[in-house]
Amino acid sequence: MALLMFAYFGSAAILFSLSLWEMVTNQRFDLRDYAACAVCSLVGPLALVLGALFLFKIRTLGHLSRAR
């Protein structure tokens, strides 16, 4: 749960820093840049959680097979 919260707050910080960079440099980003950040902020944490569950399942199955 903490990993998921860290990933979502991290993605929010990336979007905030992109907006701040746009204000400071007066460089305009188009919708594709924000869409790419939004997709990464949704897919990235999901991939982290699924990867962690997958590794946990492999470890659990390994311990169960050694117990027999």
pLDDT tens per residue across span 15-56 = 777 777 777 777 776 777 777 777 777 777 777 777 778 877
Q: What is the pLDDT of residue 55?
A: 77
* Nearest alpha carbon to residue 6 among 34, 57, 41: 41
Alpha-carbon span 32 to 19, nearest angstrom: 14
Rg of the chain in Å (alpha carbons): 18
Where in the sequence is the domain holding 47, given as residue range(s)?
A: 2-67
The total domain count for the chain is 1
Contact 14, 42 (CB under 8 A): no
pTM of the model: 0.40
Give the E-state strand segments of 1-68 in sequence order.
Answer: none
